[in-house]
């Protein structure tokens, strides 16, 4: 696959380059990339994703909430001012969040506000796996969760986002496993 790096290239990367390339696969959380760098060599992109997922899972509840706070509001002020990371902008565009009607935008803003007031972190969903209608419905539904449930649900969505971002960088067919 053209433009994607092999897992062997990933495994040879010095620390600084690894952080530069993988520091935003978990939104604004280069700590995740820093924590897994020392676990190289990875046999494939799935093992790299598993290492990042394990790092997220091992965080205490406050750490999980902190990771969620690093994410922007969906279709929020950063999106409107073009202040999103390129990854987030691409993901929100693919979900149709830049093509909302004024009524949809207002509903999204109101639900985002209610969500942040209730949980203390923004609503996170894997936008690339959803469209705006499903995202709005997800916001309404997840407002019924308790705080711990919602932090765990949000982190599960972060792991989906992470997996897709890794697949944008690393060739999923590359492996260091020897052929049998």
Count the Cβ atoms, other than its own, within 10 Å of residue 144.
Answer: 8
**28 is annotated as an active-site residue:** no
Longest dimension (CA), the chain: 57
**Is the distance from CB of 18 to CB of 166 less than 8 angstroms?**
no
Cβ within 8 Å of residue 25, ≥6 positions away: 32, 33, 52, 161, 162, 165, 166, 169
Residues constituting the chain: 180
Cα 60 to Cα 41: distance, rounded to the nearest angstrom = 26
In whole angstroms, give the CA distance from residue 6 to residue 66: 31
The H or E element that residue 21 is part of is helix 15-22
CB-facing half-sphere around the CA of 160: CA atoms within 13 A: 14
| Per annotation, catalytic residue among 71, 132, 159, 163 | 71
Q: Catalytic positions, please?
A: 71
């Amino acid at each position: 696959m053209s433009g994607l790096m092999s897992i062997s290239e990933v495994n040879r990367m010095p620390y600084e380059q690894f952080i530069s390339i993988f520091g935003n696969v978990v939104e604004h959380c280069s700590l995740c990339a820093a924590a897994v760098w020392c676990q190289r060599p990875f046999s494939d992109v799935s093992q790299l994703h598993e290492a990042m997922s394990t790092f997220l899972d091992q965080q205490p509840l406050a750490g999980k909430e902190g990771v969620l706070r690093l994410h922007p509001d969906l279709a929020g002020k950063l999106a409107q001012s073009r202040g999103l990371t390129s990854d987030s902008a691409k993901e929100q565009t693919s979900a149709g969040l830049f093509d909302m009607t004024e009524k949809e935008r207002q509903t999204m803003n109101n639900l985002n506000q209610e969500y942040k007031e209730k949980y203390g972190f923004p609503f996170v969903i894997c936008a690339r796996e959803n469209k705006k209608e499903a995202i709005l419905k997800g916001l309404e539904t997840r407002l019924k969760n308790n705080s711990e449930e919602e932090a765990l649900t949000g982190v599960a969505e972060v792991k989906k986002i992470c997996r897709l971002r890794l697949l944008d960088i690393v060739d999923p067919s590359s492996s260091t496993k020897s052929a049998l």
